[in-house]
Structure 1
Amino acid sequence: MEKEIISAAQAARLIRQGDTLIIGGSGGIGVAEKVLEALESRFLSDREPGNLTILHTTGIGAVTKYGLNRLAHVGLIKRVIGGNFGLQLPFMKELIVSNRIEAYNFPQGVMCQLYRAMAGKQPGLISHVGLGTYIDPRIDGGKMNDATTENLVEVLEVGGREMLFFHAPVANMALIRGTTADDNGNISLEHEPATLEGLSIAQAVHNAGGTVICQVKRITGRGKLNPHMVRIPGFLIDKLVIDENQPQNYAVNFDPSLCGESRRPIESIEPDPLNERRIIARRAALELYPGAVVNMGVGVSAGIPNVTAEEKLDGIFS
């Protein structure tokens, strides 16, 4: 069935008072920025919608602007449940630190799996992640301020082990992004630097009877997409928004090496400046060994690959 193409302003008007909205993206990657901008404009002009509950996996924004920082207005949001807030400082300052909204910080991996639990219509997610930390309800339960009182995490015993049970909310709106959509709403991600959680977000909201909005860069005809390139099937998508100027992220309009269309020679990567961040990254790199499997996060640890490239250590670990 052919999907309806709407403007960003029309998409913003589909979001109603009290809705629960899952927003996809990470930093400036995979963010439906045009729709977020329209949602902010609508609230500033009409004071609607309000009392939204927002779910997001990672930080969405460019530290002081864009992304969820567009939603840092009193009255727009009632509650936020997220895995990272470091890229949305105005949002933190104006809403969370000032106790103007309820806020929960759950592990990013838990957020990813929680969407899948929601898609399966499960009551929540059981995980050992967070035990003994501020996620544990015997400590803070992931609550970020005094305005947040409801317990969304419980301690259970499963098979003789303590586990945490994260309650699954019911979300009725999703805002995700892709590169290309065909007329039937099938979505490909060929220019996106990462696939992220668009599929599980769409499944969670679709299976709850909600509305899934996907922003894309372009539209192609029915049957024109290579089926192997489709990452989100069209039956999960309700509305399409086109942004022909959609950049890959907040810093780069388009770099083919970010999406695998080309390869950037290791030698072309400029060394980081010699400062405390590089010193920490170099010290951490000394812990690596051939055959190691490494999970590198954002922040200072993001400098480790530059160190290994500089020392020509690429390829000896995963």
Structure 2
Amino acid sequence: MQFSKVIDVEGALSRIRDGSVIAISGFNIATTPEYLIVKLWELYERTGHPKDLFILTDTLPAVPDRGLDFIGKKMHETGDREFLRGMLLTYLGWAPWLQRLTAENAIEMYTWPIGTASCWFREVASGRPGIITRVGLRTFLDPRNDGCYLNDLARERRTCSNSLIEIDGREYLLYKAPKPEVALIRATTSDELGNLSMEREGIFGTVLAISQAAKSCGGIVIAQVERLAKFGSIKPKEVHVPAPLVDHVVVAPEEYHWQTCSFRYDPRISGEIIPPRASYSPLELSERKVIARRVALELLYLAKRLDRPLFVNFGIGIPALTPLVIEEEGLSEILLTSIEAGPLGGVALTEADFGVAIGPFAVIQMPDMFTNYEGGIIDASSLGFMEVDARGNVNPSFIPGRITGPGGFPVIVTGSPRLYFAGGFTAGKRKFRIGNGELRIEQDGDVRKFVREVYKVAFNGKLALEEGKEVLYITERAVFRLSERGLSLEEIAPGVDLDKDILSRMDFQPQMGKLEEMDRRIFREEKMNIEL
């Protein structure tokens, strides 16, 4: 066909000029154009061009040694400092080589929350200067604190920024970055004209908005797909990115087109097959399941109080196990779960596969999902924590010497009206004996998580109280509530000693509420058999 946009990979990537700003889609490996990323490096390695590139992303198109982390590894091993001048990433936890480049001050590195970056592409596609939001206020992201800079080179050059503004007497942050001149995106199928469908992908991500952002400033869009179709054979409502937004289409070998880090292709992830409930295996009883069960109970109490199903979010780690508990109890229709990349329902995958779900009942675009979060449309959210202090401030993942980024955390805590932070009471090597309705601590972790002052504030307890949020901190041995006087201890696990196992393991004295025992059903092998 004379209008075909299908082209070889080098022909497409050769259109990228030195100094370009490139937007790349991807949530870990989901929607990551891994073939284009690898071949872009190989083209530079062979020819010296394109170079001096700046990369913008909606999340992190990488897992260790793959995607953008593959480029980080190559740059580190070769000592190259010319290919990239900088990046805007929302999370670096699965990109150890990019973390090294950041720590070495080899490239400029900036970070925004995922939802802010994802929605920013829509804003700039509409010709607006950036995105205005309350996300990040009074946290490390606030320009009065660290701002969005992850290293000294970023602080010096300020290619990306956020600044404090005031509207009608209320504080906001304005996030700005250079507009993309190139977009590297991924879909499943392209017809000869360049219409793209995403039927085998686990998520839609921000693929459409990234394409629009590049085209709005006269840029080019290069799409990686796994297969081709005849023009007109893709149903109109299944076209996710229409042909006018696509310049070139490259067919990738299957080894560069995985749904997630661990799955080449699973129709349950793309929603083509909905698995029966019998296919889910219950979690083994452990301290992690104990915490997830307590979160599930809190959500079920809320559903009973509101007398309707709940729309909820779960973050990575222990919170992501809560849907498994909900499924085991046969209550998935009462709690309508979501994860930030776009899936609703099903069972969320974890670790480097986080972002997709097995058997979702719906999948929406990522900016739309974050609108649900930031706008307070959801009823509640459960997120993990690394540190909590006496004022209820939370540090989810930051430690000295480790560079991660905020992920979706700041957007979710800004908008969600109810927050149930969930995690282990201590960290390190621990051993528990759980059963018969009790928890026994045989060896405790040597790392304290309830500290006098958190290392980085990603959730501001005082601001949450001002905005009327309900906040709980749920662990395997204790449950705290955020009050005007700070953290208040409300529940302890049966079998746990208050002074030895809780108060002596904290760096501050919590307020003492009406102390109750945690529900003993949480600590038994059998199902909780919850009735609403």
Alpha-carbon contact 1:117-1:168 (below 8 Å) kept: no
**Distance apart, 1:268 and its partner CA:** 1.1
**Contact 1:292/1:317, CA 8 A, preserved across alignment:** yes
Gap regions ≥5 residues in structure 1: none
Alpha-carbon contact 2:31-2:201 (below 8 Å) kept: yes
Identity %: 34
Which of 315, 329, 332 is the matching residue for 1:314? 332
Contact 1:17 1:49 in 2 (8 A): yes
Map Cα deviations across residues 38-63 of structure 1 (whole Å, 9 max, x no partner): 1122233334322211111212222x
Q: 1-side partners of 2:184 and 2:20: how far apart?
A: 12
Q: Which residue pairs with 1:178 in the alignment?
A: 187
The two structures have a TM-score, normalised by structure 1, of 0.93
Counterpart of 2:292 in structure 1 is: 281
Aligned counterpart in structure 1 of residue 199 of structure 2, from 184, 190, 200: 190
For 1:37, the equivalent position in structure 2 comes to: 38
Partner Cα separation in structure 2 for residue 160 and residue 273 of structure 1: 52
Q: 1:15 offset after TM fit, Å?
A: 2.5
Query: d(CA) in 2 for partners of 1:179 and 1:119?
Result: 23
1:281 Cα deviation from its structure 2 partner? 2.8
Looking at structure 1, the residues matched to 91 and 62 of structure 2 have their Cα atoms a distance apart, in angstroms, of 11
Following TM superposition, by how much is the alpha carbon of 1:138 offset from its aligned partner in structure 2, in angstroms? 0.6
Identify the residue that residue 92 of structure 1 maps to in structure 2. Answer: 99
Deviation at 1:122?
Answer: 1.0
For residue 97 of structure 1, report the CA deviation from its aligned partner.
Answer: 1.5
Give the alignment of 1:181-260 within 5 angstroms: 181-245=190-254, 246-260=257-271
Give the strand-richer structure, 1 or 2.
Answer: 2
Whichever of the two has the greater Rg, that structure is 2
**RCO higher in 1 or 2 (8 Å CA, sep ≥ 6)?**
1
- Aligned counterparts of 1:238 and 1:272: Cα–Cα separation in 2: 47
Task: Answer yes or no: is the 8 Å Cα contact 2:122–2:209 preserved in 1.
Answer: yes
Deviations 1:185-228 (A, max 9, x none): 11111111111111100000011100100111111111111001
Name the counterpart of 2:126.
Answer: 120
Superposition map of 1:57-136 within 5 A: 57-62=58-63, 64-72=64-72, 73=75, 74-75=80-81, 76-93=83-100, 95-136=101-142
Using the alignment, how far apart are the partners of 1:273 and 1:100 within structure 2? 44
Cα RMSD, aligned residues only: 1.8
Specify the code of the residue in structure 2 equivalent to 1:304: T
Cα separation, 2, equivalents of 1:278 and 1:47:
52
Query: 2:131, 2:176 → 1: CA distance?
Result: 7
What are the superposed Cα offsets for residues 71-90 of structure 1, whole Å, 9 maximum, x if unpaired?
Answer: 21142211111222212121
Which shows bigger deviation, 166-175 or 45-54? 45-54
| Structure 1 residues 273 and 119: CA distance shift in structure 2, 3 A | same
In structure 1, how many angstroms separate the alpha carbons of the residues matched to 2:37 and 2:11?
12
Distance 1:278 1:78 in 2: 44
Superposition deviation, residue 266 in structure 1: 2.3
Q: Distance in 2 between matches of 1:273 and 1:60?
A: 32
3-state SS of the aligned residue for 1:282? helix
The 8 Å contact of residues 177 and 214 in structure 1, kept in 2 or not, is answered as yes
Match of 2:26 in 1: 25
Counterpart-to-counterpart distance in 1, 2:209 and 2:288 = 35
Q: Could you tell me how far apart the structure 2 residues matched to 1:252 and 1:172 are? A: 32
Q: Which amino acid aligns with 1:248?
A: Q
Q: Distance in 1 between matches of 2:154 and 2:288?
A: 35
Cα deviation, residue 255, structure 1 = 1.1
| Partner of residue 156, structure 1 | 165
- SS at 2:264 equivalent: coil
In 2, Cα distance between equivalents of 1:53 and 1:186: 27
**Structure 1 residues 132 and 101, CA gap change in structure 2 (3 angstroms):** same
